[in-house]
Amino acid sequence: MAKRIVAYLLFGLGFLTVTFFRHYHGQLIPYPFAWWVIGVVMFLGGWLTLRSTPSSLEQYENKQVDQHIADLKAKGEQIKVNFDHVDIKENSYTEEVERRNNHDDDVLAYSLGSNTPFNDLTDSDRNTVRLQRNQCVVIYDHTQQGKTERFISPVISLDRVTLLSRLLTRQETILYVDRQDRKRYYFDLAFLNS
């Protein structure tokens, strides 16, 4: 929260400094152009900091997820999952994404010199990029007292070979399952992010 407050302050002070020194011709404050540049830097720094920090709603949701995971780790049933006994399903596809010149607004992109309409008439591939997307899930079938339960991990954005190599270096993990509601569970795959 403090980071967002600092971002708003930088953003506001930068805007005021740029606005004030844009047409300043007085003698009291020396080097008005330098102050104008400092204002632009503050404005951009505040804007970048604001974009990189999560909103209060995102922070609340992240806290709820962390609380849910901590609750499962503390009170849930712990099942050791050996990665030799899991199934990995993969979904890999190519996605065609439009190039935007780093602008989110079409009107702004066109006004800043984008010639997208003309490129569409001549060469359809100039404004698109093909991105390879890889997604996998780990499926574990747990049999207990003659009853089989299937647990599926969240989607992992890795290709199958990379995922297998990372799983086999670890060999096993823990699956935390809620004792009352068996549909609430957590695969401890945090080591994949490192």
* pTM: predicted TM-score of the whole model, two decimal places: 0.60
Using CA atoms, how far residue 129 sits from 60, 95, 108, 162, in Å, is: 35, 8, 21, 24
Quick: pLDDT tens for 57-89. 888 888 998 898 898 888 888 989 888 888 888
**Contact between residue 53 and residue 3 where contact means Cβ atoms under 8 Å apart:** yes
Instruction: Note the pLDDT of residue 109.
Output: 43
What is the C-alpha to C-alpha distance for residues 58 and 3, in angstroms, rounded to an integer?
Answer: 14
Q: In this predicted structure, what is the pLDDT of residue 105?
A: 45
Q: What is the mean pLDDT of residues 1-20?
A: 85
| pLDDT tens column, 132-191 | 888 888 899 988 888 888 989 888 888 888 888 888 888 888 889 988 888 889 988 888
Strand partners, 149: 142
Q: Cα separation of 84 and 80, whole Å?
A: 12
Residue 117 has pLDDT above 60, yes or no: no
How many residues are recorded in the chain? 194
Note the pLDDT tens digit of each residue in 26-54.
Answer: 888 888 888 889 989 998 888 888 888 88
Instruction: Give CA 70 to chain center in angstroms.
Output: 22
